[in-house]
Amino acid sequence: MKLRELTVLLWLLLNLPCLSFEVLLNDESIRSWDGSLLQYCYDLPQGKAIPLLEILPPVVERDGCFLETERGRLSDVPMDSLLVWEEGDWFLHLEGEGVKILSVAVYGEPIDNDYLQVWLDWEGITALKESIQRFSSINGLRIETREVPKASSKLVSVVRARGEVPDVIMVQSSDISRLVYEEAIQSLDYIPVQGLSGLSSFNYEGRSWAIPFYFDCQLVFYNRGLVGEIDPGWTLEDLENLSKDPGSGGAGWNIYSAYWFIPFQLGFGKRDLIEDGRVTVLDGPTQEALGYLVERVDDGTFRALERDPMVTLFASGKVGIILSGSYMIEQFERIGMDFGLAPYPEPLRPVLDYKGLAITRKTRNPILARRLIEFLTSKYVQASFCKASYKIPSRREALDGMELNFAISSSLERGYPLPADPLYELYKDTMWKLIRLAISDRLGVREVLEKGQKIIDENSGGVQ
Amino acid sequence: MFTINFIKFLKEFTVVFLMTDGGPPLVSGFTKRSIIGATTTLDIFIYDIFTGRSSTGIASAYSVLTLLLVAFVMILWFLSSRVELNAHLLIILVVAAQTTLGGYTGLVFGGLYLLAVWKRGLFKYILIGDILVSLLLSLFNGFLRGFNAATIISLMVFLILRREREGAAVVKSGDRALKLLTGIVLAGVLIASVLPLLVLVWISLSGLSTTYIDSFLPRYFTLDNFVRVVGEEGIISTLLNTLFVSLVTGLAVPLLTFQLALALRKIKNSLSDIAIVILNTVGVIGGMHTLVPLYSIFRTMGMIDSYFPVVLVYISHAIPFSVFTIRTYLESVPESLEDQAKIDGVGPVAFGFRILLPLSRPVLTTSFIVAFLGAWNGFLAPLLFLLSDSKYTMGVKLYTYVGSLGSGNPQWNLFGAAATINLLVMGVIFYTFRGYLGKTPLSENYE
Amino acid sequence: MKKLLAIMFTVLIAIASIAGITVTCNDSTFVFDRGDFPSLRVVTRFEGPQPSSDRNGSDYIEYEAIPLISVLEYVGGMREGDLLKIEADDGYSKLFPFGAIYGRTALGNPYIGYREEKPYFIFVPDDGEVSNEDMLASLGEEYSHFYDGLPSSKGLMVKSVSTIRIETSRTVSPLIMETAAFPGPSPDWTVEIKGSGKKEISSIDFEADEADGGHYVEISLERKGETNTYRAIPLWLVVAAAREDEQKRFSQYRELWEGGFDITLTSVDGYSVTFNTLDVPIEAIFIADEENGEKIAPAIVGEISGKLWVKGLASIELDTERYSYEDPRLSVSLVLKAGGLEREFTIADLEAKSYYVENYGQYITSSGGKHGGLYGGVELVKLVGELVELKPTSTIRTVASDGYETTYSAGEIESADGIWIVAFKLDGDYLPEDPGYFRTIKVGPNMPAIESRRSAKMVEIIEVIDLE
């Protein structure tokens, strides 16, 4: 007898605090949240919390959203207001005060299809799958995520073969022109993008084709033991001096690569890689930049190292300063290295490599796809995803909550997002060969750039 | 064998591309539209042109030329093994090649080779001279300008002629020298095969993702990569998927091609040769562009995201080689055996299945292994036809770690771990069946 | 005898009302039934001889209505000077002038409205009531209806319509839904239609359709608690107009639609959504260019999911793979040559003829095998009779698609034990391509038999030869 009573009591005790709040859609209760919402919460300074936006059911168009609280009905509550779990209940934090929530009512046409298919590529896929799973679980949706290598290439093949396309696909700027040409994705001008950086990376022919999601940026990594601390406001000359210092281990990176050459071009005065629909390599800044690097390699100031030797030598303390991407932070942390991060020295501008989310043209569920993207680019989701995957969020607000290294945040400001123009690929493929020939002293700087310009011009005609 | 390999590596694209992306550029490599690198093979060149997005007409033209070249080489080889060898004809061919392709040096050597028509013994020496001159010119003028393409044709003809004279006293005197040469070559080959394996194991044990080896053991030695690959990445299920696909392919190919080989054996020589040439030439055409219409067909049949199209593609890739091998083997079966069977009252069909089939077990096993291994490493077909990442095979999985070189952040250590496991499994399979390769009941060494 | 006739008469009437309404104009006739056209809900009311407050007019009644003008187009439509006669199956009939039907008078638009499965001829004016004033203003005394000397618009409504006849003095060649090119003013907007080739529809086409009074209709839709009225054309019609080949009837488009294919709608701002026609009823989705009286950029509206409400429509893309499936039988035609004239009939034409019959026939092969069944086709004599009258000396020659010719004398055709028909149906199914869509055969209740060589198959041309 006693045991049974105890069990009932226990059950009551457990459930009592779970007097939850209800979520209503068009006056119909669709969900009630109690402690079960905790599993989706973020650990924030206020405690276990979740922004209001994330628990609202996705609708075609939100006609109204009202919160019934202890203090009465609230409307026009900011979407990123937090619901905080306090003493077994949910409190809405508004203007520093917490008020207990009784229900959340949303009005709008429900989305009639709860299925989405998402294709993911590159890194951070596990963390991304988790974020998407959150959205799916909270709203009772069926979202299928697939890791698809060469996703944009596969999408083109599927579109051509009239197959079933996914609804959302992860893309990088170099994919855009091809996907647009094949009519595989739809333009997203209708999705508001305030607060996101990197929009230019997905702009093509005057329209926006993907929403920037995260980016990697180029940074300077240095061995604290060899180099000491670097002043974030340093210049190119400082880099030279540091590198010449025998105790520092010197500076080396993949000087041959066009990707690592761009910051120098921009630093020496070039405004944009592609100007007036044309790629110019015969201009002053490019010649100066190339000449500068050739000299520095010749006199031994900088070492031209391919990626793998660069990483190995840096990790083994034989090279003190390298130029690499933010994606390497995880690697070096994993092996327990004592390294520091510095932004690119003035006047160099680091390249920002964005990945974005695009919606296919033949999707059957564009509105839910858009809701998913809005979810993924919201402040807290961005912060949590990027923290887990060592990526940098495109939502500027999310940076605040991340305690990002100053090197990264200043890189964001001076950084150069890669353009979506197909000419960029042409430039990259040609440039590395030119740099190599110049640095190996087989040809002079001017000569090599002249020949390169001819090839670029010749091939530009075919680029659409 | 030479021809087959020549063709195979002429088409070799993936390895070279992934490894070197065309290689460091050559000064002599500036053409109007691109810069040819030290390892820019024809396929990479075509790929470069194609992605340079100039009109696809040019890329197609090059592809057709490649096709013709392959067909030409095959026909040449088959002619050589069938036709009563007309050495004169072959030498004339060499002369023609030299004068058209060889430029100024070609004209000179063309004349010299003409002399060989009368005195065959001279051919060897003229060839040596040809090769030397080519090398010298390459050194001075850069590889592309100096090299004489016709030299290759001359070399090939030389090998063909030499084969003809096999058995004749050619190298009796240089026996020991030959043995030494063979030894050196073999050692080189061995090192070249083992070295990549060592590198692979090295990178799989490194905590840092890199392929730059500067120490005996990786500085950040760890077994973590293997743990990750098996645990988080589920490499075991990928291996099982790959095993399934490869098994089905491996079993299907010999089953399907045996009858064809049997039939071809009966047909007159030249016709069956033509059949094989066609099979092989058509096999050259395959690639990404043929997969798109295939996708359309399979989609209509509702077979996307199943293994059926993948296996079908692999089987079709393996058929030419299998038919060729089995037929060649069957041809070595002496006629007398068949006659004897006839006397014993065994009809042709029964002869094929009750006598030839068991006899062919070794070559069928070879066919199985080749098809199996080809399917094991496939990449494009599963990438396109499979949708669920739980169904991916090893080829696709390995790619996800590395991407193309330009992605900036390949995970070499995970790749190494996965690839090592992959190789181990493949190695075990190969080891189990090693006995069957190259042995036949009709050879002298068969037990 | 009389009883039998009465029964037959009733049966005929019953058949007539089930079989559909006959629409004719001179020689063009077709029988249509409800399923052939899209319908909308309308409400209307007619005033009686006494003012409406006396309530001897009709109440407001709801109908599932088909715009009459669409129906008339199938026989060529009306022109200035023509009259329209609406006949009921009890003999009641009303005559209307061209202006009342096409002129958008106070009477509004004419419809065939269905209520309790019966077809009614009605008018639906803008204010929802056909008053006597409206009637007099629109029809004048000549065509208005009077009951006991008092004007009664109730008489304009015809119950149980059986025949609709255009009375005209001109010769009509049947035109079906002209989609003419409209030169002249440049359109305010255009929507691209991709799929089977590329076509465009523009604001000019909408204006033209409005003038024709065809399918440009007004619909009221409720969304988010608000009711808005739109002027719109059904999406299926726009899609149909984009096709290069011969026009089909609505029932055939419905079949295609319900077969299921994908349509992708794209807006000018890039928003793009794909749906399958199986998920959206054909009558539910429209393209509107006017909302609450104001012109708007073309938008997709209807009783459809919110994601399909595409504003600023830029293009419509059809998944041609499945959409372009064509039943070849629909484009096959039979050529009749007689008296120097030539006429082509499709299977649909023939099936609509009043002299389409179904009866039993058979042919016997030389080996004694019998082939027969219930054949459906048109009487040969009556078919020929559309062009010439068969003389005793006439010969009918059929030419098959492989060139084979069969000749019949007039005497053979007009035999007693059966009727010769050009059959295209057997036991309820259309004749297959092999051995041929058309076959000549003799039919009758006693299943008359003929030699197989007298039954011409794969018939393509029928010629009447008079030897003078």
Give tens-digit pLDDT for B413-436: 888 898 888 888 888 877 877 766
Please determine, for residue C364, whether its predicted confidence score (pLDDT) is greater than 60: yes
Burial of C363-396, coded b for 16+ CB within 10 Å and e otherwise, reads: bbeeeeeeebbebbbbbbbbbbeebbebeeebbb
Q: Which chain A residues contact residue C264 at CB under 8 A? A: 361-362
Q: So what's the pLDDT on residue A36?
A: 87
Residues A290 and A438 in one domain: yes
Closest-CA distance of chain B to residue A72, Å? 49
**Which of the four pLDDT bands, split at 50, 70 and 90, describes residue B77?**
low
Closest-CA distance of chain A to residue B418, Å? 16
Q: Which chain C residues contact residue A362 at CB under 8 A? A: 262, 264, 272, 274
For residue A184, give the chain C residue with the closest CA: C272
Across the range C431-454, mean pLDDT stands at 85
Q: Under an 8 A CB cutoff, do C321 and A187 touch?
A: no
A187 and C CB contact within 8 Å:
yes
Task: Choose among A259, A313, A422: nearest Cβ to B53.
Answer: A422
More confident residue, C315 or C203: C315
Kindly give, in sequence order, each residue whose CB lies less than 8 Å from that of residue B427, ignoring residues fewer than 6 positions away.
Answer: none
Please determine, for residue B19, whether its predicted confidence score (pLDDT) is greater than 50: no
Q: Under an 8 A CB cutoff, do C269 and A189 touch?
A: yes
For residue A110, give the chain C residue with the closest CA: C306
Which of A203-212, C133-142, C364-373, C447-456 has the largest mean confidence? A203-212
Instruction: Report if residue A433 sits inside a domain.
Output: yes
Q: Which chain A residues contact residue C224 at CB under 8 A? A: 61, 63, 109
CA nearest neighbour of A277 among A419, A383, A423? A423
Residues A169 and A278 in one domain: no
3-state DSSP of chain B: CHHHHHHHHHCCCHHHHHHHCCCCEEEEEECCCCEEECCCCHHHHHHHHHHCCCCHHHHHHHHHHHHHHHHHHHHHHHHHHHCCCCHHHHHHHHHHHHHHHCHHHHHHHHHHHHHHHHCCCHHHHHHHHHHHHHHHHHHHHCHHHHCCHHHHHHHHHHHHHHHHCCCCCCCCCCHHHHHHHHHHHHHHHHHHHHHHHHHHHHHHCECCCCCCCCCCCCCCECCHHHHHHHHCCCHHHHHHHHHHHHHHHHHHHHHHHHHHHHHHHHCCHHHHHHHHHHHHHHHHHCCHHHHHHHHHHHHHCCCCCCCHHHHHHHHHHHHHHHHHHHHHHHHCCCHHHHHHHHHCCCCHHHHHHHHHHHHCHHHHHHHHHHHHHHHHCCCHHHHHHCCCHHHCCHHHHHHHHHCCHHHCCCCHHHHHHHHHHHHHHHHHHHHHCHHHCCCCCCCCCCC
Every domain of chain B and the residues it spans = 2-164, 229-436
Residues A337 and A324 in one domain: yes
Instruction: Report if residue A4 sits inside a domain.
Output: no
Q: Which chain C residues contact residue A361 at CB under 8 A? A: 264, 266, 272, 274
The owner of tokens 């083997």 is: B329
Residues A169 and A199 in one domain: yes
Task: Choose among A146, A312, A458: nearest Cβ to B32.
Answer: A458
Strand partners, A69: A72, A101
Residues A453 and A321 in one domain: yes
Query: What is the distance, to the nearest Å, from the Cα of residue B400 to the centroid of all Cα atoms in its chain?
Result: 25
B409 and A CB contact within 8 Å:
yes
Q: So what's the pLDDT on residue B151?
A: 74
**Which of the four pLDDT bands, split at 50, 70 and 90, describes residue C174?**
very low
Q: Which chain C residues contact residue A367 at CB under 8 A? A: 306-307
Three-point CA angle B128, B129, B133, nearest 5°? 120
Task: Choose among A61, A189, A363: nearest Cβ to C274.
Answer: A363
Kindly give, in sequence order, each residue whose CB lies less than 8 Å from that of residue B276, ignoring residues fewer than 6 positions away.
Answer: B78, B264, B320, B323, B324, B327
Domain count, chain A: 3
Q: So what's the pLDDT on residue C175?
A: 38
- Scanning B232-261 for CB atoms below 8 A from A yields 232
Query: Which of A109-118, B54-63, C164-173, C421-430 has the weakest average pLDDT?
Result: B54-63
A14 and C CB contact within 8 Å:
no
Across the range B7-30, mean pLDDT stands at 51
Q: For residue C439, what are its two tokens?
A: 């076959």
DSSP character string of C323-337: HT---GGGG-EEEEE
Residues A46 and A178 in one domain: no
Every domain of chain C and the residues it spans = 17-167, 190-323, 328-466
Task: Choose among A63, A187, A190: nearest Cβ to C224.
Answer: A63
Task: Choose among B219, B389, B412: nearest Cβ to A315.
Answer: B219
Q: Under an 8 A CB cutoff, do A443 and B299 touch?
A: no
CB–CB of A419/A428 below 8 Å? no
For residue A155, give the chain B residue with the closest CA: B384
| CATH 3.30.565.10 for the B229-436 domain, yes or no | no
- C328-466: which CATH number, 3.30.2320.30, 3.90.420.10, 3.10.20.30, 3.40.1280.10? 3.90.420.10
Residues A259 and A382 in one domain: no
**Which of the four pLDDT bands, split at 50, 70 and 90, describes residue B83?**
low
ipTM exceeding 0.85? no
Q: How far apart are CA A157 and CA A163, in angstroms?
A: 9
More confident residue, C49 or A368: A368
The whole-chain average pLDDT of chain B stands at: 73
Query: What is the distance, to the nearest Å, from the Cα of residue B286 to the centroid of all Cα atoms in its chain?
Result: 14
Residues A235 and A209 in one domain: no
Instruction: Report if residue A240 sits inside a domain.
Output: yes
Residues A337 and A448 in one domain: yes
Closest-CA distance of chain B to residue A101, Å? 40
Class of domain C190-323: alpha beta
Q: Under an 8 A CB cutoff, do A161 and B299 touch?
A: yes
B227 and A CB contact within 8 Å:
no
Q: Which chain B residues contact residue A440 at CB under 8 A? A: 24
Q: Under an 8 A CB cutoff, do B212 and A425 touch?
A: no
Q: So what's the pLDDT on residue B440?
A: 44
Extract the residue ranges of chain A whose pLDDT is less than 70: 1, 8-19, 401, 403-404, 461-464
Run of H or E including A404: none
Q: Is 0.90 surpassed by the pTM of this model?
A: no
Burial class (CB in 10 A: 0-12, 13-18, 19+), B117: middle
C260 and A CB contact within 8 Å:
no
Q: So what's the pLDDT on residue A118?
A: 95
The sign of the CA dihedral B162, B165, B166, B167 is negative
CB–CB of B396/B237 below 8 Å? no
For residue A365, give the chain C residue with the closest CA: C273
B145 and A CB contact within 8 Å:
no
Kindly give, in sequence order, each residue whose CB lies less than 8 Å from that of residue C148, ignoring residues fewer than 6 positions away.
Answer: C49
Burial of C413-440, coded b for 16+ CB within 10 Å and e otherwise, reads: beeeebbbbbbbbbeeeebeeeebbbbb
Express each pLDDT in B243-292 by its tens digit: 999 999 999 999 888 888 888 877 766 777 777 777 776 666 555 556 66
Residues A247 and A363 in one domain: no
Strand partners, C262: C276
Task: Give the rounded percent of residues in chain C with a pLDDT score beyond 90.
Answer: 9
State the chains in contact with C (3 or more Cβ–Cβ pairs under 8 Å): A
Burial of C166-179, coded b for 16+ CB within 10 Å and e otherwise, reads: bebeeebebeebee
Helix-helix angle B412-432:B361-376, to 10 degrees: 170
The owner of tokens 């006839």 is: B342
Q: How far apart are CA A82 and CA A94, in angstroms?
A: 8
CB–CB of C209/C215 below 8 Å? yes
C268 and A CB contact within 8 Å:
no
Q: Which chain C residues contact residue A366 at CB under 8 A? A: 271-273, 307
Range of the domain at A186: 115-215+353-417
A189 and C CB contact within 8 Å:
yes
Residues A202 and A222 in one domain: no
Query: What is the distance, to the nearest Å, from the Cα of residue C467 to the centroid of all Cα atoms in its chain?
Result: 39
Instruction: Report if residue A2 sits inside a domain.
Output: no
Q: So what's the pLDDT on residue A370?
A: 94
Which of residues A79, A110, A141 is at a domain's end?
A: A110
Q: So what's the pLDDT on residue B190?
A: 84
Let me know how many helices (H) and strands (E) chain A has, helices first: 17, 24
A321-325/A251-253 β-pairing:
parallel
Report residue A372: phi and psi, to 5°. Answer: -60, -45
A27 and C CB contact within 8 Å:
no
> Quick check: helix, strand or coil at residue A172?
strand
Q: How far apart are CA B413 and CA B235, in angstroms?
A: 14
Q: How far apart are CA A31 and CA A21, in angstroms?
A: 9
More confident residue, C32 or A452: A452
What separation in angstroms does the CA of A374 have from each of A83, A191, A395?
A: 19, 9, 11
The whole-chain average pLDDT of chain C stands at: 79
Q: How far apart are CA B134 and CA A178, in angstroms?
A: 43
> Quick check: helix, strand or coil at residue A96?
coil
Instruction: Report if residue A192 sits inside a domain.
Output: yes
Strand partners, A64: A107
Q: So what's the pLDDT on residue B32?
A: 56
Residues A327 and A374 in one domain: no
